[in-house]
Protein backbone atom coordinates (compact mmCIF):
# COMPACT_ATOMS: atom_id res chain seq x y z
CA UNK A 1 0.00 0.00 0.00
CA UNK A 2 2.81 2.36 0.98
CA UNK A 3 4.77 1.32 -2.12
CA UNK A 4 1.76 2.10 -4.34
CA UNK A 5 1.34 5.51 -2.71
CA UNK A 6 5.02 6.27 -3.25
CA UNK A 7 4.70 5.35 -6.92
CA UNK A 8 1.75 7.73 -7.24
CA UNK A 9 3.74 10.51 -5.59
CA UNK A 10 6.70 9.92 -7.88
CA UNK A 11 4.45 10.05 -10.94
CA UNK A 12 2.87 13.26 -9.66
CA UNK A 13 6.29 14.85 -9.08
CA UNK A 14 7.41 13.84 -12.57
CA UNK A 15 4.22 15.27 -14.06
CA UNK A 16 4.75 18.56 -12.22
CA UNK A 17 8.38 18.66 -13.35
CA UNK A 18 7.39 18.04 -16.98
CA UNK A 19 4.69 20.73 -16.80
CA UNK A 20 7.08 23.21 -15.20
CA UNK A 21 9.67 22.58 -17.91
CA UNK A 22 7.01 23.05 -20.60
CA UNK A 23 5.86 26.29 -18.99
CA UNK A 24 9.41 27.63 -18.82
CA UNK A 25 9.93 26.74 -22.48
CA UNK A 26 6.80 28.66 -23.47
CA UNK A 27 7.82 31.64 -21.34
CA UNK A 28 11.13 31.80 -23.20
CA UNK A 29 9.23 31.70 -26.49
CA UNK A 30 7.04 34.54 -25.25
CA UNK A 31 10.12 36.68 -24.58
CA UNK A 32 11.19 36.14 -28.20
CA UNK A 33 7.75 36.67 -29.74
CA UNK A 34 4.48 37.86 -28.04
CA UNK A 35 3.40 39.35 -31.37
CA UNK A 36 -0.30 39.51 -30.41
CA UNK A 37 0.24 41.41 -27.15
CA UNK A 38 -1.72 44.63 -27.68
CA UNK A 39 1.09 46.90 -26.51
CA UNK A 40 1.44 49.13 -29.55
CA UNK A 41 -2.17 50.45 -29.67
CA UNK A 42 -1.83 51.36 -26.00
CA UNK A 43 1.36 53.31 -26.74
CA UNK A 44 -0.68 55.31 -29.26
CA UNK A 45 -3.30 56.00 -26.60
CA UNK A 46 -0.53 57.09 -24.22
CA UNK A 47 0.47 59.68 -26.84
CA UNK A 48 -3.14 60.88 -27.15
CA UNK A 49 -3.75 59.14 -30.48
CA UNK A 50 -7.00 57.31 -31.19
CA UNK A 51 -5.66 53.98 -32.40
CA UNK A 52 -8.90 53.11 -34.24
CA UNK A 53 -8.57 56.24 -36.40
CA UNK A 54 -4.85 55.60 -36.78
CA UNK A 55 -5.40 52.16 -38.34
CA UNK A 56 -8.45 53.20 -40.37
CA UNK A 57 -6.32 55.90 -41.97
CA UNK A 58 -3.70 53.35 -42.97
CA UNK A 59 -1.36 53.62 -40.02
CA UNK A 60 1.32 50.95 -39.86
CA UNK A 61 0.90 48.18 -37.27
CA UNK A 62 3.62 46.82 -35.01
CA UNK A 63 3.84 43.06 -35.59
CA UNK A 64 0.22 41.77 -35.52
CA UNK A 65 -1.02 44.38 -33.03
CA UNK A 66 -3.85 46.04 -34.97
CA UNK A 67 -6.07 47.06 -32.06
CA UNK A 68 -9.14 44.88 -32.65
CA UNK A 69 -10.28 44.90 -29.03
CA UNK A 70 -12.63 47.29 -27.25
CA UNK A 71 -11.18 50.56 -25.97
CA UNK A 72 -11.11 49.32 -22.36
CA UNK A 73 -8.30 46.88 -22.99
CA UNK A 74 -5.98 49.64 -24.12
CA UNK A 75 -6.77 51.69 -21.05
CA UNK A 76 -5.85 48.88 -18.66
CA UNK A 77 -2.72 48.23 -20.75
CA UNK A 78 -1.45 51.79 -20.25
CA UNK A 79 1.04 50.68 -17.54
CA UNK A 80 2.57 48.29 -20.10
CA UNK A 81 2.56 51.04 -22.74
CA UNK A 82 4.78 53.16 -20.52
CA UNK A 83 7.50 50.48 -20.81
CA UNK A 84 9.81 49.60 -23.67
CA UNK A 85 8.66 46.65 -25.78
CA UNK A 86 11.14 44.10 -24.40
CA UNK A 87 10.30 44.95 -20.78
CA UNK A 88 6.57 45.20 -21.46
CA UNK A 89 6.33 41.73 -22.98
CA UNK A 90 8.33 40.31 -20.07
CA UNK A 91 5.83 41.65 -17.54
CA UNK A 92 2.92 40.55 -19.74
CA UNK A 93 4.39 37.05 -19.83
CA UNK A 94 4.54 37.08 -16.01
CA UNK A 95 0.92 38.25 -15.93
CA UNK A 96 -0.15 35.43 -18.24
CA UNK A 97 1.64 32.88 -16.04
CA UNK A 98 -0.34 34.22 -13.08
CA UNK A 99 -3.59 33.61 -15.00
CA UNK A 100 -2.40 30.12 -16.01
CA UNK A 101 -2.01 29.19 -12.34
CA UNK A 102 -4.90 31.18 -10.89
CA UNK A 103 -7.72 30.09 -13.23
CA UNK A 104 -7.63 26.32 -12.62
CA UNK A 105 -6.78 26.81 -8.94
CA UNK A 106 -9.82 29.03 -8.33
CA UNK A 107 -12.14 26.66 -10.18
CA UNK A 108 -10.83 23.63 -8.26
CA UNK A 109 -11.13 25.45 -4.96
CA UNK A 110 -14.72 26.43 -5.76
CA UNK A 111 -15.69 22.78 -6.28
CA UNK A 112 -13.58 21.37 -3.42
CA UNK A 113 -11.29 19.35 -5.67
CA UNK A 114 -8.62 17.39 -3.80
CA UNK A 115 -5.09 18.75 -3.57
CA UNK A 116 -3.46 16.17 -5.85
CA UNK A 117 -6.20 16.41 -8.46
CA UNK A 118 -5.95 20.20 -8.35
CA UNK A 119 -2.22 19.95 -9.08
CA UNK A 120 -2.87 17.58 -11.99
CA UNK A 121 -5.54 19.89 -13.44
CA UNK A 122 -3.24 22.90 -13.11
CA UNK A 123 -0.47 21.02 -14.89
CA UNK A 124 -2.78 19.96 -17.71
CA UNK A 125 -4.10 23.50 -18.08
CA UNK A 126 -0.56 24.92 -18.14
CA UNK A 127 0.61 22.54 -20.86
CA UNK A 128 -2.44 22.27 -23.13
CA UNK A 129 -2.18 23.68 -26.64
CA UNK A 130 -4.50 26.73 -26.24
CA UNK A 131 -2.63 27.88 -23.12
CA UNK A 132 0.76 27.45 -24.78
CA UNK A 133 -0.44 29.46 -27.77
CA UNK A 134 -1.68 32.29 -25.55
CA UNK A 135 1.66 32.50 -23.74
CA UNK A 136 3.81 32.16 -26.88
CA UNK A 137 1.94 34.83 -28.81
CA UNK A 138 1.21 37.09 -25.85
CA UNK A 139 -2.53 36.89 -26.41
CA UNK A 140 -5.21 38.30 -24.10
CA UNK A 141 -7.50 35.26 -23.83
CA UNK A 142 -6.42 34.25 -20.32
CA UNK A 143 -7.03 37.76 -19.02
CA UNK A 144 -10.52 37.74 -20.51
CA UNK A 145 -11.22 34.25 -19.15
CA UNK A 146 -10.04 35.18 -15.66
CA UNK A 147 -12.51 38.03 -15.36
CA UNK A 148 -15.25 36.18 -17.22
CA UNK A 149 -15.45 33.38 -14.65
CA UNK A 150 -15.35 35.62 -11.55
CA UNK A 151 -19.14 35.97 -11.03
CA UNK A 152 -19.56 32.19 -11.28
CA UNK A 153 -16.95 31.58 -8.59
CA UNK A 154 -17.54 34.43 -6.15
CA UNK A 155 -20.95 35.91 -5.38
CA UNK A 156 -19.96 39.46 -4.46
CA UNK A 157 -20.09 42.95 -5.91
CA UNK A 158 -16.35 43.06 -6.69
CA UNK A 159 -16.60 39.96 -8.85
CA UNK A 160 -19.52 41.36 -10.83
CA UNK A 161 -17.74 44.69 -11.21
CA UNK A 162 -14.47 43.21 -12.48
CA UNK A 163 -16.28 40.71 -14.70
CA UNK A 164 -16.95 43.72 -16.92
CA UNK A 165 -13.34 43.55 -18.09
CA UNK A 166 -14.32 40.44 -20.07
CA UNK A 167 -16.56 42.73 -22.17
CA UNK A 168 -13.40 44.13 -23.79
CA UNK A 169 -13.24 41.18 -26.20
CA UNK A 170 -16.12 41.48 -28.65
CA UNK A 171 -16.70 37.80 -29.38
CA UNK A 172 -16.98 37.03 -25.65
CA UNK A 173 -18.18 40.28 -24.13
CA UNK A 174 -21.85 39.91 -25.05
CA UNK A 175 -22.32 36.62 -23.13
CA UNK A 176 -22.31 37.92 -19.55
CA UNK A 177 -24.72 40.82 -20.19
CA UNK A 178 -27.18 38.38 -21.75
CA UNK A 179 -26.70 36.06 -18.76
CA UNK A 180 -27.39 38.89 -16.32
CA UNK A 181 -30.48 40.00 -18.27
CA UNK A 182 -31.94 36.49 -18.56
CA UNK A 183 -31.44 35.93 -14.83
CA UNK A 184 -32.79 39.42 -14.02
CA UNK A 185 -29.56 40.45 -12.31
CA UNK A 186 -29.97 44.04 -13.38
CA UNK A 187 -27.95 45.49 -10.49
CA UNK A 188 -25.01 43.27 -11.36
CA UNK A 189 -25.34 44.14 -15.04
CA UNK A 190 -24.97 47.83 -14.16
CA UNK A 191 -21.95 47.04 -11.97
CA UNK A 192 -20.30 45.09 -14.77
CA UNK A 193 -20.79 47.93 -17.26
CA UNK A 194 -18.91 50.46 -15.09
CA UNK A 195 -15.37 49.40 -16.23
CA UNK A 196 -16.36 50.01 -19.87
CA UNK A 197 -17.87 53.40 -19.05
CA UNK A 198 -14.83 54.50 -17.04
CA UNK A 199 -12.50 53.27 -19.80
CA UNK A 200 -14.59 55.14 -22.39
CA UNK A 201 -14.19 58.39 -20.41
CA UNK A 202 -10.43 57.88 -20.15
CA UNK A 203 -9.96 56.83 -23.78
CA UNK A 204 -12.10 59.44 -25.49
pLDDT tens track for 27-46: 999 999 999 999 999 999 99
Q: What angle do CA 62, 64, 70 make, to 5 degrees?
A: 95
Mean predicted lDDT score pLDDT of the chain: 94
How far is the CA of 135 from the CAs of 47, 69, 138, in angstroms? 27, 18, 5
Residues, the chain, total? 204
How far is the CA of 116 from the CAs of 42, 106, 109, 113, 133, in angstroms? 41, 15, 12, 8, 26
* pLDDT score at 187: 96
Task: List pLDDT tens digits, range 170-204.
Answer: 888 899 999 999 999 999 999 999 999 999 999 98
- Prediction pTM value: 0.93
Of 9, 199, 14, 10, the closest CA to residue 123 belongs to: 14
Task: List pLDDT tens digits, range 37-81.
Answer: 999 999 999 999 999 999 999 999 999 899 999 999 999 999 999
The distance in angstroms from the start CA to the end CA of the chain is 66
Helix, strand, or coil (residue 150): helix
Angle 115-127/2-32 helices, nearest 10 degrees? 30
Amino acid sequence: MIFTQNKKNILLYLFVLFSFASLIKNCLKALNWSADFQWFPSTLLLKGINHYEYFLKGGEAFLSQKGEYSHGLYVIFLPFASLEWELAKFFWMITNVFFVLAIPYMICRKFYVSKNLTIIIMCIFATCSPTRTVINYGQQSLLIMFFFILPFLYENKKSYFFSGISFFKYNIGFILPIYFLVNKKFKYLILSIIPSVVAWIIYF
